[in-house]
Amino acid sequence: MKIVFHPEFYRVYTSDPAAEAGRMEAIVQELRDYEFLKPERAKEEDVLLVHTKMHYEYVKSDEDVFEVAMLAVGGAILASEISFKEPAFALIRPPGHHASPDSSWGFCYFNNIAIAVKKLLAGKRIEKAAIVDFDLHYGDGTANVFRWDPKVKYHHMSGANIEGVVEFLEKSEYDIIAVSAGFDKHKEDWGGILETEDYRELGKIFKEFSERRGVGRFAVLEGGYNHRVLGKNVRAFVKGFE
């Protein structure tokens, strides 16, 4: 199990809750016993697998955001590549699942997980993928990217419906499991729904289906804003996922 992280993700690049000081530190502290790997910045051609040139240029116009956003995409790509050998968790920011091809909102700029999956498809590394999102919020950007793509199935976990995740993975066909891992559904976060142990259970489900099907698995950080519990929730997920 590898953790993909770069010290640049500590940088406060804007004023939104995803970019707050102390957020990444809370997670790193809990995962310090894992091996960390540094990603490189993504290339423009990677981003353009999903986003329009106009949107790319729009994000590029804010230098502070652009630099860390490109590194976040690179982190998701590296995690996806590692997944062919072992599980990986991309501890990255900004998040990405609200980024559509030509727009973004909700603290997102580029759709990290969508770009990583698209790159695997373009490189013929996989033929089909399953993306599961357990963030509090529906990943409208990811859904928009793959709405008409029969090679990629997207599932957002509604409420605490973990059984729905199991049903989705049972009925879908995929060569990789990609997870948008948002932790803002926790009892002490914005959603007020899940227990810490629920994240461990979700990790175990992805591990079970990945191993049963003989496919890789990787996850990328999306939401999660209560620093007091965020690190513990991420660790619970990673322990189940590894």
Instruction: Report the distance separating Cα 109 and Cα 115, nearest Å.
Output: 12
DSSP symbols for 125-151: S-S-EEEEE-SSS--HHHHHHHTT-TT
Six-digit token pair at 115? 């770009």
Residue 104 one-letter amino acid: S
Where does residue 154 rank: exposed (0-12), middle (13-18), buried (19+ CB within 10 A)? Answer: buried
- Is 98 tagged catalytic? yes
Residue with tokens 């990609």: 178
Residue 74 one-letter amino acid: G
- Residues in contact with 24: Cβ distance below 8 Å, sequence separation at least 6, in sequence order: 5, 9, 10, 91, 93
Which residue among the candidates 6, 55, 98, 155 is catalytic per the annotation?
98
Q: What is the largest CA-CA distance in the chain?
A: 45
Distance set, CA 221 to CA 62, 182, 218 (Å): 22, 6, 10
Q: Between β-strands 103-104 and 99-100, what pairing exists: parallel, antiparallel or unpaired?
A: antiparallel
Instruction: Give catalytic residues, as residue numbers.
Output: 98
